[in-house]
Structure 1
């Protein structure tokens, strides 16, 4: 009798342990990203097109936000989706980009000027895989799932394709991740959304986690209104990281753009909606 009771107690404890492990993932309802390749590898080229940016071009819409179309030798990716589904649709059409055929989406963080364009994408590419930070709010994750996407949560830096990796989340707030593409002979091309945790921190994490030298960074740096000392500090950090090109768009701020252009003209890169950059 005593043995039977002991066996029942042990069985119950084991069951509770198993449930403790699996229930959080069931509750989240989201797949956890795992590296598809054990090492980063490289691609022959990457072309980045600025689909949405609040720095205007006469023929394209330029609402406050960011969306970058990324084409490599083996993947097409949308990095962030901007704030306006109609602007995303019209700009993609004018630039000759078919978003119904892209392979995947990476969302940097949950703010509306980076995700609302997903509503257009849901119309033309429902079921698409969308990678989001693990720390994204449950309400935002639920909204993305509700659009019909296959949501994948990312916590650690994860290789998702040959030469392509998601740089694991850092806390800003909010939680934010980046995208890195390793181009043969150049190094990492790092794409950032708003860089709430710091663009220099995100690039440094990409360099450390992926054991590769960063070559360029493009995106929003969240430095509008930053002090001159802060801007100087970030620029110096990026240069010390070995970056050859820096493309400040979206929320980077005119002071940052001016300081970088004046002090490091060889590093400064222009960027605005409709701009295309080929790295090869």
Structure 2
């Protein structure tokens, strides 16, 4: 065989072996559990590349992510970067326990945490009493003292940032195209007045794959359309996939249809819902967008999106 032929075959098979994404995604916390996992009202997902592991959200109860990771054979000791989608306790509850568990094994484990601007705003209940809900703390100052003592460093984002190769955080998302999802029972205080908390610290993650954006949200309080548009403003590519919580459960048909039509226009091909997305709502979006069943899952503990964007252990199939 000639050298030219060898080069051709090498290039051909190298192209075949290219993965669509640098990152494999594994769901570690959500409402639905299989195979002995702990299910709860929360979200967490592990992103793994050839070079690093990153955790997106940390679940509600402090032991949930630890239990489910151990069950799935996932070693979290090398996780150094953490993304918290917003301040709610069902996304921040495991952070401190995870840091305590792994810091002796790896001093950098769970030491760098990315949050969006507004994350540390003190929240109150309807009576004006402290209600932080951050990682089980009502008082934000107490939470900050505990995390500081543990050597956790927070990076507060006001705009999008690339934190690893082809891995972007949206930072705060402008509320332009859809209704604002408030945070019931949580208020901000300004000039002695209690104001609805609009969860302006809500942020999402975007993986820039070879086909386009694959976005991940914890609750999607900023809105699925707004979030997708935010990533398109970073680089104008299709939004081909979405995973996580998108706060569409109990939404009106009008809202779900509007969301679905926008996602269809954006080029959505795969949806892995979970947490607060809603099974009925995810199914309706899939029907409108014409997503194949193999590319639709409501997600459960252990659901995986591979680097070539295949869903494993799908709850739909």
**TM-score bucket (shorter structure):** 0.7 to 0.9
How much has 1:278 moved relative to structure 2?
Answer: 0.7
TM-align CA RMSD: 2.1
Structure 1 counterpart of 2:215:
190
In the other structure, the counterpart of 1:279 is 307
Unaligned stretches of 5+ residues in structure 1: 1-41
TM-score, length-scaled by structure 2: 0.70
User: Any conservation in 1 of the 2:240–2:270 contact (CA below 8 Å)?
Assistant: yes
Q: Which has the higher contact order (CA 8 A, sep 6+)?
A: 1
Indicate how the Cα distance of structure 1 residues 123 and 84 shifts in structure 2: closer, same or farther if over 3 A, else same: same
Equivalent residues, number = 238
The answer on whether the counterparts of 1:106 and 1:132 sit within 8 Å (CA) in structure 2 is yes
More strand by share: 1
- Structure 1 residues 131, 145: CA separation in 2 closer, same or farther (over 3 Å shift)? farther
TM-score (norm: length of structure 1): 0.79
Shift of 1:244: 1.5
Measured in 2, the distance between the counterparts of 1:181 and 1:65 equals 21
Q: Quick check: 1:45–1:278 contact (8 Å CA) kept in 2? A: no
Measured in 2, the distance between the counterparts of 1:275 and 1:186 equals 21
104-113 vs 242-251, which deviates more?
Answer: 242-251
**Contact kept? 1:224, 1:251, Cα under 8 Å:** yes
Mapped contact 2:240–2:266 kept (Cα < 8 A):
no
Deviation at 1:85, TM superposition (A): 1.5
Residues 1:216 and 2:241 are matched in the alignment: yes
**SS in structure 2 at match of 1:272:** coil
The structure with the larger Rg is: 1
CA contact (8 A) 1:43 1:182 kept: no
* Alignment correspondent of 1:266: 292
Select the structure that is richer in helix. Answer: 1
User: Does the 8 A contact of 2:239 with 2:263 survive in 1?
Assistant: no
Question: 2 CA distance for matches of 1:201 and 1:87?
Answer: 30
